[in-house]
């Protein structure tokens, strides 16, 4: 599809303010994305076919759309801080990067998007857009922003949280600094289970009940979700340690949302107060050795027996599966494979809590559940388990929704996963903030060739990009949380998770690089941040699945 653009000579006219230029550049990039999406839709009979037939193009479209969406949110945030020049500079820098990255992806294999060189004239022949990109991405501008980052000691500006959420942030910031951070290195390097020194205070603070209404023993107001509160708490705990604290409320979040979606009133009254109190702790068992993001392919069997069901099969990557006292298990209750996701049901499986790396639970009937932790390069503390069910009995009362819940397990699982995705974006922001803070401190202290490395242009450029990236990821996470509280934003939650997970991997890599050889040493926290960040693009929906099956598919379905 070719776009004809009439270009006027505006080279002698003054440029509009940076935020307006950023909007214009972003609009041009989004226009190209829309054209590319429409082209892919025309090439296939359905959105599902389009995603399968054009995977590389769809992946790049989803990633670009996610990055541009983050830029939109950040520009809106900067507009609310019109008197804060620094926030505006970070926003326009990030927008220039997002537009440039999008254009580069589209140019790389333009034919796959139905584009040719003429289509890029909407940018290439627009002097104001080109001037904006050149100015924002010039070395002297990046270095100047980096200098300001150093002068401000990493302060990225107001987050515009209300009083309630600011109090939550400050409370958990102190807890993260005073309790989590001092224990984090031991948990990581010795591969320990999360200690009670972290768990017990968090139970007392009510952290496991953030997604549970007050009528069921939680902290959430009746009929009023507070996803933003959960996000703020998750971000601060992840700043202390992703594995030892930042992921603790993800599993109760998923389980409680599933219960609220499909549980009977009796089940809600029984389980939600316990989950809110953190007794028992819980875990989610959905992934299988051959079925990860493809949840509809689950094979673990649940066979009807007198008074309940017998579970047989395996699960993997069940995080906190040993310590947990109850597992949310997705199983196939209908043997007919053609039913796919319609043949799945959800069970609440009780077990004995264990701190060990291996456990075995044998029932009086002979049923058995065994678990073995999986050694990982990072994200230690919660321990992810392989689970094996051998005629393990679960009573009828423990099927989610009881008799009416049979065949609906997939939908109950999905009810919790959107919350898990936006929470993962918050975890990414917490890890990035920790890495950024350590990098800033080290850069000002480490002397190379007779001066601190913070004085060098390249270091300033790195710090500027890190600051802009954190601010963008934080803002999309906060704003999408508010959307979700109004019943919207599921696709944007996937976008936030996709983009923030990738951003965390790049930023922690740069943080390690700033530390040089010390960054590669286990005694330096940035090595842990780097190892931990790698999991963010994998769990709670692998980036490929989110990009293709969620974001790209939805974009194609909505295209005109």
Which residues are within 8 A (CB) of 455 and not within 5 positions of it... i.e. 6 or more apart?
A: none
Contact 408, 345 (CB under 8 A): yes
User: Torsions phi, psi of 346, nearest 5?
Assistant: -115, 140
Please tell me whether residue 317 adopts helix, strand or coil conformation.
strand
Contact 285, 327 (CB under 8 A): yes
Cα 220 from chain centroid (whole Å): 22
492 an active-site residue? no
Nearest to 131 by CA among 7, 31, 10, 33: 10
Catalytic choice (445, 540, 543, 557): 540
Gyration radius of the chain's alpha carbons: 25
**For residue 203, how many C-alpha atoms fall within 13 Å in the half-sphere facing its CB?**
15
| Distance (Å, whole) CA 10 – CA 401 | 65
| Distance (Å, whole) CA 203 – CA 277 | 6
| Distance (Å, whole) CA 105 – CA 60 | 6
| Distance (Å, whole) CA 400 – CA 397 | 8
Q: What tokens does 560 get? A: 């005109």
- Report DSSP letters for 393-426, one per residue: EEEGGGBTTGGGGTT-HHHHHHHHHHHHHHHHHH
Which residues are within 8 A (CB) of 136 and not within 5 positions of it... i.e. 6 or more apart?
A: 18, 92, 93, 95, 96, 97
User: Torsions phi, psi of 163, nearest 5?
Assistant: -60, -45
Nearest to 467 by CA among 83, 242, 155, 234: 155
Nearest to 537 by CA among 490, 492, 505, 489: 505
> How big is the chain, counted in residues?
560
What angle do helix axes 85-108 and 127-136 make, rounded to 10 degrees? 110
Please tell me whether residue 221 adopts helix, strand or coil conformation.
coil
Which residues are within 8 A (CB) of 402 and not within 5 positions of it... i.e. 6 or more apart?
A: 264, 267, 396
Q: What tokens does 414 get? A: 């999905």
Residue burial 106-143, b: 16+ Cβ < 10 Å; e: rest:
beeebebbbbeeebbebbbebbbbeebbeebbeeebbb
Contact 188, 244 (CB under 8 A): yes
Residue 318: beta bridge partners?
Answer: 385
Contact 503, 496 (CB under 8 A): no
User: Peptide bond before 280: cis, by omega within 30 degrees of 0?
Assistant: yes
Query: Within 10 Å of residue 371's Cβ, how many Cβ atoms?
Result: 25
Q: Catalytic amino acids?
A: 540
């Amino acid at each position: 599809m070719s776009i004809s653009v009439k270009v006027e000579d505006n080279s002698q006219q003054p440029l509009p303010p940076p935020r307006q230029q950023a909007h214009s550049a972003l609009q041009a990039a989004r226009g190209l994305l829309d054209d590319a999406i429409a082209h892919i839709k025309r090439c296939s009979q359905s959105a599902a076919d389009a995603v399968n037939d054009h995977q590389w193009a769809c992946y790049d479209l989803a990633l670009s759309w996610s990055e541009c969406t983050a830029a939109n949110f950040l520009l809106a945030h900067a507009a609310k801080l019109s008197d804060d020049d620094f926030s505006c500079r970070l926003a326009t820098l990030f927008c220039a990067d997002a537009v440039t990255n999008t254009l580069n992806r589209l140019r790389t294999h333009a034919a796959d998007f139905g584009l040719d060189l003429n289509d890029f004239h909407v940018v290439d022949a627009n002097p104001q857009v080109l001037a904006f990109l050149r100015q924002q991405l010039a070395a002297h501008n990046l270095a100047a922003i980096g200098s300001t980052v150093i002068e401000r000691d990493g302060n990225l500006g107001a987050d515009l949280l209300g009083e309630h959420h600011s109090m939550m942030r400050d409370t958990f910031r102190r807890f993260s600094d005073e309790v989590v951070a001092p224990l984090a290195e031991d948990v990581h390097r010795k591969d320990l289970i999360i200690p009670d020194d972290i768990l017990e205070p968090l139970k007392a603070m009510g952290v496991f009940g953030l997604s549970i209404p007050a009528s069921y023993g939680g902290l959430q107001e009746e009929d009023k979700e507070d996803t933003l509160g959960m996000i703020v708490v998750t971000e601060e705990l992840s700043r202390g340690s992703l594995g030892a604290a930042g992921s603790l409320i993800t599993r109760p979040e998923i389980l409680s949302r599933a219960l609220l979606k499909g549980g009977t009133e009796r089940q809600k009254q029984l389980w939600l107060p316990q989950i809110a109190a953190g007794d028992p702790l819980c875990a989610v068992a959905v992934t299988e050795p051959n079925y990860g993001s493809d949840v509809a392919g689950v094979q673990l069997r649940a066979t009807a027996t007198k008074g309940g069901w017998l579970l047989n099969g395996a699960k993997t990557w069940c995080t906190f599966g040993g310590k947990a006292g109850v597992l949310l298990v997705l199983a196939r209750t209908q043997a007919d494979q053609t039913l796919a996701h319609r043949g799945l049901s959800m069970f609440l499986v009780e077990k004995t809590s264990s701190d060990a790396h291996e456990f075995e639970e044998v029932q009086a009937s002979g049923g058995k559940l065994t678990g073995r932790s999986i050694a990982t390069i990072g994200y230690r503390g919660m321990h992810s388990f392989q689970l094996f069910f051998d005629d393990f009995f679960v009573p009828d009362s423990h099927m989610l929704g009881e008799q009416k819940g049979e065949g609906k397990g997939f939908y109950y699982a999905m009810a919790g996963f959107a919350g898990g995705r936006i929470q993962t974006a918050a975890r990414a922001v917490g890890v990035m903030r920790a890495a950024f803070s350590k990098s800033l401190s080290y850069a000002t202290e480490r002397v190379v060739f007779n001066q601190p490395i913070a004085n060098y242009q390249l270091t300033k450029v790195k710090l500027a990009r890190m600051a802009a990236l954190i601010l963008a990821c934080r803002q999309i996470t906060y704003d999408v949380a508010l959307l979700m509280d109004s019943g919207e934003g599921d696709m944007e939650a996937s976008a936030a998770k996709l983009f923030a997970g990738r951003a965390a991997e790049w930023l922690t890599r740069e943080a390690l690089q700033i530390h040089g050889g010390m960054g590669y040493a286990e005694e330096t926290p940035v090595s842990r941040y780097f190892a931990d960040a790698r999991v963010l693009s994998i769990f709670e929906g692998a980036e490929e699945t989110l990009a293709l099956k969620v974001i790209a598919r939805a974009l194609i379905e909505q295209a005109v």
